Every structure is written in structure tokens, then in C-alpha cells.
Structure 1
Amino acid sequence: MADRYQSLAHNPIGKFIVKNLGLPNPPVLERWSEGSPLVKGTVLIGAAPGSRLGKKLAATLKSSGITSVGVRADSKTYKGLVFDATGITDTAGLADLQQFFTPALRSLASSGRLVVIGTLPEQAGSETAAIAQRALEGFVRSAGKEVGGNGSTANLVYAGIGAEDALGSTLEFLLSPKSAFVDGQVIRLGLTELVDADPVADPAKPLAGKVALITGASRGLGEAMARTLHRDGAQIVGLDVPQLSAELEAVMAELGGTAIAEDITAPDAPKVIADAVKKAHGGVDIVVHNAGITRDKRLKNMKTENWNLVIDISVGAPQRITAELLERKLIRPGGRVIGISSIAGIAGNNGQTSYGTAKAGVIGFVNDLSKRVAKDGITVNAIAPGFIETDMVKTMPLGIREAGRRLSSLSQGGQPIDVAEAIAWYANPGSSAISGNVVRVCGQALIGA
């Protein structure tokens, strides 16, 4: 859905009104287009004394085709600012952040990226180091709110001990326009049993040879996911309810994919889906549990049948389907299971108790399953979208719609492609050390965690 306010804010009269009344001024976000370089510009690198990445950080960026320098020039602008904070072992050392970022921020280009790399606090080695590392979260979230006005974002990566060589796919994502609507987030590498990043034969098609099953794939977020994973080389198996079979088959025909028309809440759905995947491809590498519905009512007016349906589609059916696929060993080693949560599952939402409960359940699903399948090299993560411009937005009252758009550091709603790019990042073979994460794609919404 078009954001008319954003268009108004960028015409000459609108600019004058917005500036003089102090109204929100949503920047135009840069998004990646196929064939473009990951980063159109130079990344400036800094590090606290004693940090453990050393020259490895510059080498990682170089291998991804990203140009970086270690010394700031006053006359240059930088598309990204990356600071290795793994060497900060006490609160006094946090001054290193300020000393790097304060002058560098004056040289940050529009739609720029701030990335801080720390150590998982539980692996920091001492109480003082753990406290200092935890403080990085407050720094990144505050910095994100400062730089959002020009379309820039700030994010934190906690790299577990031994995960130093697994940063590539995450830095590629966070420094590129693919992460346009990911802001103020904390990403943890090495939470579960660490798996080395798998090699990528063709960076332009990192998912070549992979099979991706996506539920709710006929339209909206699911369609965007299907198109994006196909762009990256995956073969797509799209699933949706029989009522949407025509739309689903049209999308799958365009992508050369396989369509499954099935209600995921049906008692035999796990077997039907597993049989179809086995018959078409012999197995699956990526499973995206995208299907979901809302039946919004205040709790005092909630009908039990609607409550049960919302919960089952978002979290009950995904558990059963995943269990069937795992039991039959149809998720291949190195596989990816990805759930779709929501900021409603983190912060709650008035009139959405069923939806919030379901989406919090997705987080529980990720936390539990990620530990159980780590030994098989399978990762389990979730995306928690915020306000995304889908058809559902059209049904919202104007006031709620505008509040949803403006109450973020980027002062606008995201696009379906923003969620899809995050899915592609999780699915990337180089993301093997990322498991047990829930990352919000919300433009750093000012509500919730």
C-alpha cells in the first residue's frame, strides 16, 4: 500500500511543512536490486584494544566484495561503520565506542550502516566483561534512533567464541541494503552447537541446489519469500489453502516451483506435505512456516474456535509438520527451519491476545527446537515483522495505520521484500552459526523490546 504521507513529506511544500511543524520525516530507504554490489561505498573499521577479530574482519569483508579501510579521512563519506568491541572487558572500555563513532558519524552516508561486534556476554570470561558486553545493546539501540533520520540503521552482532569465521553472511546482510528495515537488533552467533559456515559456490545464487518449502506462499509475505529464495537459486515448494490454489499455482508456475494445496491444520496435513516433498525432491533444505491469520477481538469477546484456529495455524501446525519432516529425515543436514513471529508476540497488542500468544509461541518453538536439532547441523530461527505494507494494512483504521508507520526509528512501514531478505539471510549456507535467534524486521519500532 502506498505511503502518501511519505510522498508528501518529500515534495517542496511538504518539506517546508514537515520541517516547520516538527512532523515525522520518513527517509527514502535504499533497497538492494539484483546485480548491484552489496555495498555501494566504503566501510570504515575500528576496534577496541585487544579485540579478537583483528585482521580477520577486513579479510571477511574483502572476501564478500566489500571495500573497507581502517583509517578515517575527513573528506570521505562511509557507507558503513563497523566496530569490533570484543576487546572491551570493563565499563571504562566502553569509551572506545564513543571515540570511534563520534567523529565517524559525521561522515556517514545516507542509508548507512552501523554494526558493532561483541562477544556473547555468557562467554565474556569475567563479570566485568559480561557487564560491558551487555551494555553494547543499549548503545546500538540508542544509536539507531539517532541515525534513522537519514535511513541509516544500527545493529549488534554477538559472536560466540569460535564463531569468528562465521561472520561473513551476517555482515553481508547487515551492511547491505538487504537489511533496510532491520534496525536496533541483536544477533547471536554460536548460541547452539557451532557449525562452520558452509562454502557458497556462487555468491549470486547462494541457494543453488537447495529446496525451500514455504507455507502461505500464494501472496503477501509468502510470495515475496518464494520470489526471493528463487532469486537466490532455490527450488520452491509453495503451500497454501485449497481456496487459494489458483493464485498459488500461478506463482509456482512463474517460478518453476511445486504447488501443494493443503490446509495445514488438517489431521493428515503433515503426512500429505512430507509425502509431496519426498516425491518432488526427495527432501527439503529450507522450511519457512509463514502461514498465519488474525481473528482480532478483545479478550472478553473472544470466541474459542477463533482462538484455537489462530494458535494452531501459527504454532501448532508448524510443530507437527516439522516433527513429521524430522522423523522421516526429510530435512537434510545443514537444513533451515524458519518461523514467522511478530512484534505482537514480543510486546503484545491491544485486541490481539490470540495473535500475540501464537507469535510468542513461535519464539518458544525456536528456543526449544534449535537446541534439539543442533547436533544434526539444522538451524532454527524466527523473524518478527513489525508494520509491513501488505494488503492487511488496507483494513486498518487510518489513525492506527499512521501510528504503525511513524512509531519507528525510520518513520515508515516496511515492505514484504524486507522480511524476505531476512529469510534469505537465515537460509544462506554461510549462516550455519545462527540458530535460536528471533530478529525483528520492524525499522526499530518504538514499542516493545
Structure 2
Amino acid sequence: MSDTYLNLVNSGITKDVAKKLGLPRPAELRRTDPSAVDHPLLPGPVLLLGSGPDDTVADSLAQTLLAWDLDVHRTLPNRTLGAIVLTLTDIEHPEQVGERVLELGEALRSLAPSGRVIVLSRPAADTDDPAVAAARHGVDGFTRSLAKELRAGATGNGIVLSDGVTPGSPSVTGAVRFLLSARSAFVSGQFVHVTTTDGEVPGDWTRSLAGRVAVVTGAARGIGAAIARTLHRDGAEVIGVDVPAAGEQLAQVMNEVGGTALQLDITADDAAQRVIDLARSRHGRLDAVVHNAGVLRDKLLANMTAEKWDAVVAVNIAAQLRMNEALLSADGLAPDGLRLVSLASTSGIAGNRGQTNYGYTKAAVIGMTRALAPRLAEQGGTANAVAPGFIETEMTAKIPPVPRQVARRANSLQQGGQPVDVAETITFLLSPQAGGINGEVLRVCGQNLVGQ
């Protein structure tokens, strides 16, 4: 659905009127153009800020960025910047941070529209010295606050490297590239935790899923269809699943991506086995599953019926649990380890009025994901969740006009996301370069003003 207000304040005479009146002016975000043959990673050079000339983390990052043909600077150039990367992995006391973050603050004046800021740090642990824990955990509040100060479509995010994880680890490299790129347009104020050195840097960043087979539930429309298209773009063979009533739309999407359509109610007792059997017969393997299917039955709890509560639980969480158990028990199905991504929601993080059933199930998805992560890691796989905020879909188009406008503006980017924004994040988490990211919940919400 088109955001008429965003279009008006960025074009013609209405743009000038909005400026004079001081109205909010959400920017047109830089997204990947699927029709572009050579899409630049950034709209300008990268400024890399660290502790000084002996910062080995910054040196390693510089080599990675240079290998991508980026223009890398260690001091502020007299040019508009495409991105700023700040390393804080070495800090052990809060008093060490000021000089570096103030240098970043000065550089922000040169950041291009839809520019990127990335902060690399280490996690705080209960066993750390209090000063170390304070310094490290402070990065969380700093980065989230910084992201809310950025304007013109720029985003700020963090990458947290666990002990033993280096900047050259595949998932650090993958996270840096994802967060620098146009693929992360609606991800801001978030942290990607890289916990292991697992993963593999692809030979072709644009086809990182070549040879992989992925199932997407709820693939007939909206976010599910965007996921199928994005997975296909990056080389995956797609099996799209949706209810028989959506069969015609599902067939259209699968024809578009050269995939296989499976009309199926995922709450059926044999749903998981049918998915497994199709993957084996058609492709001989199954590498990834995206649990996207979900339903809404919104009511205030005082007016909630058992039918509405049970329907949401059945689709949004119970079906996933059954399917996951079957997938984990299917010997030889995923030769390189199964990758799972489940759709959570900001409603499952911060709650939402009239959505006690939906909020319950989306929070349940987060709990399920974190519990599955170590089990899948034993088999070489990962389990992660993506929590969208307000995304422009057929569902959100039905929200009354005033609440819809409020929901659109209630994030740092002051607009709704697009289905492709969710799809890009899921595709990254399923990629070989994300093998060291496990048990994460990554929000795609433009840094929604509720929750973390």
C-alpha cells in the first residue's frame, strides 16, 4: 500500500509547504533495486573509527571493506559519507568511550541520506569486572539513542562479537555487509549478536543461497510472497505453502519464482510430513524453513472467545512446534544443517491493545526460537526470529485511517516498512554467512518507539 503522506512531503509544492510548516518528513529509503545490474553497496565512502593506528579490529574491517571496492577512510574526508563504522570492542571502562563517540558525532554532519552507522562491541557478562560490564552494556543505550537522532533515512545498528569471534568471522562479515547495504533499509536501533565463528562467506554475494532449498509458509501474498521472491533472487529453490483457498495466488507467485506450490493447511496432523515428503521427492533435501503463516483474531480480552484464541494459537505457534519436531527428526533432510526463521512481531515484545492472543503467540515464537537454537546448533543449523513492526500489507491497509497514520509514524524512520524489508532480513539470516547468528530476534520496525 502506498504512503500518500510520504510521497507528498517529498515532491513538488507540497514538499516546500511541509518544510515551511515544520511537518515530519519521512525520507524515501534506499532499497535494493531488483532491476539494477550493478547496485552500489553504499552511496559514498566509509569512515572507519577505532582506537588508533594499532586497532587490529579496525584494520581487519578495513581489509574487508576494501575487498568490496569501497572507499575507506580512517580520518574524516571532505566528502559526503555513505557510512560510519565505529569499533568499541576493546573498551574496559566508560571513560574510554568519549573521544571516539564524539569523533563519530562530528562525522554525522557528513552522513548521506540513507547512510549507515554501525557500532561493533563485545557483550557484557555477569562475570565481568563492573567497569568492563558498564562500558560494554553502555554501548546498547548509546547505539539505540544514536539511531533515534539520525535523519534522512539513515540507520544505526550494532554488531556484538562474543569472545573468540573476530571481525573476519563469516557472520561478522555478513552482518557488516547486510547492515551497510540497502537490504537493511528498515532495520535500525538493533543489535546482531554473533556468538560463534560458524558460517561461510559466499563466493557470490548476490547468489548466496544457490543450491539451497527453502520452504515458505503463507507464501501466497504480502510478506510471504516477498520472502519467496527474495529467496529466489538469491538463488534458492522455493517451496511455497498456503491454504487451498489461496491456491490461485500461490500458484502465481510460485510460477513467478519457478518454485513449487503446496496447498496445505499447516494445522493438519500430516502437514509436516507432506512438506518433508515433497522436499525429498522434488529436491532430495530441505535446507531452510520460514514460518511465515499467521492469523489475526483481534479482540479485547473481555470480549475474547475460545474460538478466536484457539485459532490464533493453532496457526501461529502450535503448527510450528509440530512441524519443527518432525523436521528435527527427519534424518538426512538438511545435509548442511537446517536453518529456521520464524515470524514474531513487535506485538510479542511490547504488547498491543486488542491483541492478547496474537501477542501471546508471537512472544511464544520468541521463546520457541531461543529454545530451539542450541538443538539446531548441534546439527549445524540455526534458529532465529524476525519481528516486524508496521509493514504496508493488505492487513495493515484495513486499519482505520487515523490509527494507521499513527502506527506509520511511531518509529525513528517515521514510515511503514515494506514486505521486502522483512524478506531481506530473513534471507540474510538463512544465508551461509549468518551461520554464527543463532537464537536471535531481529526487529524490522524502523526502530519502533515501543519495546527494545
Say what the alpha-carbon RMSD is for the aligned residues: 1.6
How many Å separate the matches in 2 of 1:62 and 1:308?
A: 53
In structure 2, the partner of 1:389 is 392
How many Å separate the matches in 2 of 1:421 and 1:28?
A: 17
Structure 2: which amino acid aligns with 1:69?
H
How many Å separate the matches in 2 of 1:125 and 1:60?
A: 30
Tell whether the 8 Å contact from 2:217 to 2:291 is kept in structure 1 after alignment: yes
Q: TM-score, normalised by structure 2?
A: 0.95
In structure 2, the partner of 1:230 is 232
How many Å separate the matches in 1 of 2:46 and 2:328?
A: 41
In structure 2, the partner of 1:66 is 70
1:282 equivalent in alignment to 2:284: yes
SS of the equivalent of 2:336 reads strand
Going from structure 1 to structure 2, the CA distance change for 1:94 and 1:225 (only over 3 Å counts) comes to same
Cα offset, 1:127, TM superposition: 2.5
Please say which of residues 91-100 and 286-295 is displaced more in the overlay: 91-100
In structure 2, the partner of 1:38 is 41
Give structure 2 stretches of 5+ with no counterpart: none
In structure 1, the partner of 2:15 is 15
Structure 1 segment 405-444 matched on structure 2, within 5 A: 405-444=408-447
The match for 2:256 among 244, 254, 257 is: 254
How many Å separate the matches in 1 of 2:86 and 2:197?
A: 24
In structure 2, the partner of 1:143 is 146
1:56 equivalent in alignment to 2:46: no
1:375 equivalent in alignment to 2:378: yes
How many Å separate the matches in 2 of 1:123 and 1:236?
A: 43
Identity %: 41
Cα offset, 1:446, TM superposition: 1.0
Tell whether the 8 Å contact from 2:339 to 2:382 is kept in structure 1 after alignment: yes
Going from structure 1 to structure 2, the CA distance change for 1:69 and 1:366 (only over 3 Å counts) comes to same
Cα offset, 1:129, TM superposition: 1.3
How many Å separate the matches in 2 of 1:389 and 1:433?
A: 31
SS of the equivalent of 2:328 reads helix
Tell whether the 8 Å contact from 2:43 to 2:81 is kept in structure 1 after alignment: no
Structure 2: which amino acid aligns with 1:63?
A
SS of the equivalent of 1:345 reads helix
Structure 2: which amino acid aligns with 1:382?
A
SS of the equivalent of 1:288 reads strand
In structure 2, the partner of 1:178 is 183
1:218 equivalent in alignment to 2:220: yes
SS of the equivalent of 2:230 reads helix
Structure 2: which amino acid aligns with 1:62?
L
The match for 1:362 among 362, 365, 380 is: 365
How many Å separate the matches in 2 of 1:278 and 1:109?
A: 48
How many Å separate the matches in 2 of 1:65 and 1:221?
A: 32
Cα offset, 1:65, TM superposition: 3.9
Tell whether the 8 Å contact from 2:43 to 2:112 is kept in structure 1 after alignment: no
In structure 2, the partner of 1:204 is 206
Q: What does the per-residue CA deviation read over 1:227-260, in whole Å, with 9 as the maximum and x for residues that have no partner?
A: 0010000000110011111111121122111111
How many Å separate the matches in 2 of 1:426 and 1:225?
A: 12
Cα offset, 1:393, TM superposition: 1.8
Structure 1: which amino acid aligns with 2:247?
S
Q: What does the per-residue CA deviation read over 1:187-240, in whole Å, with 9 as the maximum and x for residues that have no partner?
A: 1110xxx25221413222111000011000111000000000100000001100
Structure 1: which amino acid aligns with 2:31?
R
Tell whether the 8 Å contact from 2:48 to 2:58 is kept in structure 1 after alignment: no
In structure 1, the partner of 2:311 is 309
Going from structure 1 to structure 2, the CA distance change for 1:118 and 1:390 (only over 3 Å counts) comes to same
How many Å separate the matches in 1 of 2:263 and 2:75?
A: 56
Going from structure 1 to structure 2, the CA distance change for 1:282 and 1:441 (only over 3 Å counts) comes to same
Tell whether the 8 Å contact from 2:174 to 2:201 is kept in structure 1 after alignment: no
Structure 1: which amino acid aligns with 2:177?
E
How many Å separate the matches in 2 of 1:116 and 1:88?
A: 13
Going from structure 1 to structure 2, the CA distance change for 1:54 and 1:152 (only over 3 Å counts) comes to closer
The match for 1:78 among 55, 77, 81 is: 81
Cα offset, 1:37, TM superposition: 2.3
How many Å separate the matches in 2 of 1:55 and 1:65?
A: 16
Cα offset, 1:184, TM superposition: 0.3
Q: What does the per-residue CA deviation read over 1:162-204, in whole Å, with 9 as the maximum and x for residues that have no partner?
A: 22123111111101111110000011110xxx25221413222
Please say which of residues 369-378 and 110-119 is displaced more in the overlay: 369-378
How many Å separate the matches in 1 of 2:202 and 2:214?
A: 17
Tell whether the 8 Å contact from 1:51 to 1:86 is kept in structure 2 after alignment: no
How many Å separate the matches in 2 of 1:162 and 1:96?
A: 26
Tell whether the 8 Å contact from 1:120 to 1:160 is kept in structure 2 after alignment: yes
SS of the equivalent of 2:206 reads coil
Q: What does the per-residue CA deviation read over 1:287-329, in whole Å, with 9 as the maximum and x for residues that have no partner?
A: 1000001000000111112211112211111111111011013
Tell whether the 8 Å contact from 1:64 to 1:168 is kept in structure 2 after alignment: no
Going from structure 1 to structure 2, the CA distance change for 1:168 and 1:42 (only over 3 Å counts) comes to same
The match for 2:347 among 344, 357, 374 is: 344
Structure 1 segment 398-409 matched on structure 2, within 5 A: 398-409=401-412
How many Å separate the matches in 1 of 2:127 and 2:213?
A: 38
SS of the equivalent of 2:438 reads coil
How many Å separate the matches in 1 of 2:417 and 2:259?
A: 27
Structure 1 segment 106-145 matched on structure 2, within 5 A: 106-122=109-125, 125-145=128-148
SS of the equivalent of 1:138 reads helix
In structure 1, the partner of 2:334 is 331
How many Å separate the matches in 2 of 1:293 and 1:442?
A: 19
How many Å separate the matches in 1 of 2:69 and 2:291?
A: 32
The match for 2:192 among 187, 195, 218 is: 187
In structure 2, the partner of 1:26 is 26
Cα offset, 1:124, TM superposition: 8.6
How many Å separate the matches in 2 of 1:66 and 1:86?
A: 23
Going from structure 1 to structure 2, the CA distance change for 1:46 and 1:80 (only over 3 Å counts) comes to same
